[in-house]
């Protein structure tokens, strides 16, 4: 019965797709678009436009060439001649992300994709549902909460240091894949502080949980041109058919290894989320007052959310249980559903593990290449550590450590493009500075038709020479030790962090950016005070996957890794 329904569904999808393609071709090649006034790179393919070049894993030069040649706003050609807007203009970004953010929503494909992969977490919700989730979780990412997390951060990082010391001989050196250890550490940190759950003991050479390797492979498999086109076409069209069992049957039997690999990895993430939430609910439902009391006192994100999920029910035999029950009986508007709480687990692992481990690995790679910067930073850290382990206030106030982190996140953001935004009605989008249009004339604003997809270049925004100067593309931590140029403050960038767009801005900005910064500073302070890092003999290439990652072509071009030579210091 399911097989027959799947066959019927496939036939309907085929007819729908052919009709849709014919309409799009007519619309895009017969009718003009307001975006045609903008200049842009020539389309290299009727089928795919510029997308394969722009989202290629090795597309750095192409991306930079588009930014440099066409400036703050350009027209990109998508599939079947679709016009897309690529922009990093600060005034345009303010309208898109802040002023008119409810009109410039994240695309249907982005939302439905994330719901399928991760569940109904922050990355898969819009409007009031998204705002409710953020409101509930904001206190868990406050500075006060970060202070409370410091001991836990150090406990995990000390485990990492102890293990690495056993691998590096005294007065000797050892080549180590530091990306593996940064990924495992980031996963354990988000697991412990975000979920009260241990993913990794950080002792064995291999991760003792499949989640770590699953997330790495998942990011690689779902990125690039494949990720763009599935987000734009497959997921939004599949979402129109509410036959989950049929769709699952189709996916299970789809004859493409890549699809099957993604399915298996997604199932691992989903099953792990269920395991974590079940563990929390079992603790809340325990008849042991001590366990209920311990659950109340837990401050990790998922424990707090689990106290108010709609199906929560606990034993009535203790005051602690009564408090949990009172939370669970709160007004529905102030609760998340089970499905929403499930969705936060994979969402936080993706955001907390992949991006932060990418950033920490990039910093260590840069420090290995620039030994003078590494030594200066190590001296600053060791001087501050004379009185013992650094406190939260000490960590955030170390000027050179802060400068190294900021500059790396500026020039090398872990994510180069924000999620596609789709305009929900005709709008006029202004620019802070005119751009040169296709006819050579200045364009100071543009009509953006309903349904237009917008690509936001985070790299273009962070390295805009009009704002950061002629050396905008150069990694110079020292620039943060002096007052920034007036052009930086005058740009009024809508980002929530240091005039940068690395963590976005507006209502969909990264909720965990303080967590990420603190994690980086704790890990760097511990490792740099103990080890010296040098480049290995291998040539490392950083690729534009969904989340930027390092690869060694002469070892294994399909596996992200960052070999560095580590030396144990006295």
Binding-site positions for heme read 510
Place of tokens 């549902």: 129
Q: Which residues contact 458 (CB under 8 A, 6 or more apart)?
A: 88, 413, 415, 416, 417, 418, 501, 502, 504
- Which residues carry a binding-site annotation? 510
Q: Which residues contact 554 (CB under 8 A, 6 or more apart)?
A: 538, 539
CB atoms within 10 A of CB 171: 8
What whole-number distance in Å separates Cα of residue 197 and Cα of residue 240? 36
What whole-number distance in Å separates Cα of residue 28 and Cα of residue 82? 6
95 HSE (CA, 13 A, CB side):
16
DSSP β-bridge partners for residue 442:
436
CB atoms within 10 A of CB 198: 14
> Phi and psi dihedrals of 176, rounded to 5?
-135, 140
Indicate the pairing of strand 173-177 with strand 563-568.
antiparallel
Q: Which residues contact 78 (CB under 8 A, 6 or more apart)?
A: 48, 49, 50, 51, 84, 232, 453
DSSP 500: B
Residue 428 near residue 448, CB atoms below 8 Å: yes
Q: Which residues contact 90 (CB under 8 A, 6 or more apart)?
A: 432, 461, 467, 491, 492, 493, 494
Q: What is the CA radius of gyration of the chain?
A: 24
Q: What is the 3-state secondary structure (H, E, C) of 13-51?
A: HHHHHHHHHHHHHHHHHHCCCHHHHECCCCCCCCCCCCH
Residue 85 near residue 448, CB atoms below 8 Å: yes
């Amino acid at each position: 019965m399911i097989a027959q329904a799947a066959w019927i569904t496939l036939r309907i999808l085929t007819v729908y797709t052919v009709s849709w393609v014919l309409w799009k071709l007519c619309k895009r090649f017969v009718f003009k678009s307001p975006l045609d006034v903008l200049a842009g790179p020539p389309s290299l393919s009727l089928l795919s436009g510029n997308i394969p070049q722009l989202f290629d894993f090795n597309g750095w030069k192409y991306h930079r060439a588009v930014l440099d040649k066409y400036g703050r706003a350009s027209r990109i050609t998508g599939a079947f001649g679709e016009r897309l807007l690529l922009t990093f203009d600060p005034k345009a970004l303010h309208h898109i992300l802040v002023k008119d953010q409810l009109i410039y929503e994240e695309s249907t494909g982005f939302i439905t994709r994330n719901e399928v992969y991760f569940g109904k977490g922050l990355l898969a919700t819009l409007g009031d549902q998204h705002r409710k989730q953020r409101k509930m979780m904001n206190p868990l990412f406050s500075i006060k909460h970060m202070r409370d997390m410091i001991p836990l951060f150090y406990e995990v990082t000390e485990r990492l240091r102890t293990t690495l010391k056993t691998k590096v001989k005294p007065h000797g050196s050892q080549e180590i894949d530091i990306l593996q250890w940064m990924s495992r550490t980031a996963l354990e940190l988000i697991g412990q502080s975000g979920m009260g759950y241990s993913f990794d003991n950080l002792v064995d050479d291999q991760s003792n949980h499949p989640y770590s390797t699953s997330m790495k492979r998942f990011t690689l498999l779902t990125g690039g041109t494949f990720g763009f086109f599935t987000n734009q076409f497959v997921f939004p069209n599949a979402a129109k058919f509410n036959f989950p069992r049929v769709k699952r049957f189709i996916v299970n039997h789809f004859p493409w290894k890549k699809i099957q690999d993604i399915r298996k990895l997604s199932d691992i993430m989903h099953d792990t989320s269920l395991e974590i939430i079940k563990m929390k609910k079992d603790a809340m439902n325990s008849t042991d007052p001590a366990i209920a009391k311990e659950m109340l006192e837990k401050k990790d994100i998922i424990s707090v959310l689990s106290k108010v999920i709609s199906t929560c029910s606990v034993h009535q035999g203790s005051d602690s249980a009564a408090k949990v029950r009172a939370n669970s009986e709160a007004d529905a508007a102030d609760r998340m559903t089970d499905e929403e709480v499930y969705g936060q687990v994979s969402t936080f692992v993706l955001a907390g593990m992949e991006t932060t481990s990418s950033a920490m690995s990039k910093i260590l790679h840069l420090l290995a290449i620039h030994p003078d910067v590494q030594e200066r930073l190590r001296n600053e850290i060791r001087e501050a550590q004379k009185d013992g382990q650094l406190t939260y206030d000490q960590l955030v106030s170390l000027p050179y450590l802060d400068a190294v982190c900021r500059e790396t996140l500026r020039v090398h953001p872990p994510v180069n493009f924000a999620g596609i935004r789709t305009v929900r009605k005709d709008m006029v989008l202004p620019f802070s500075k005119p751009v040169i249009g296709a006819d050579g004339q200045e364009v100071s604003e543009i009509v953006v038709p309903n349904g237009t997809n917008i690509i936001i270049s985070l790299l273009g925004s962070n390295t805009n020479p009009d704002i950061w100067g002629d050396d905008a593309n150069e990694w110079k931590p020292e620039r943060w030790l002096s007052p920034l140029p007036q052009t930086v403050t005058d740009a009024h960038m809508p980002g929530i962090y240091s005039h940068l767009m690395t963590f976005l801005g507006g209502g969909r900005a990264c909720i965990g950016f303080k967590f990420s910064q603190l994690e980086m500073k704790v890990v760097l302070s511990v490792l740099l005070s103990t080890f010296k890092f040098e480049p290995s003999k291998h040539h490392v290439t950083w690729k534009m996957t969904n989340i930027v990652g390092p690869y060694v072509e002469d070892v294994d071009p399909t596996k992200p890794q960052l070999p560095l030579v580590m030396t144990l210091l006295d």
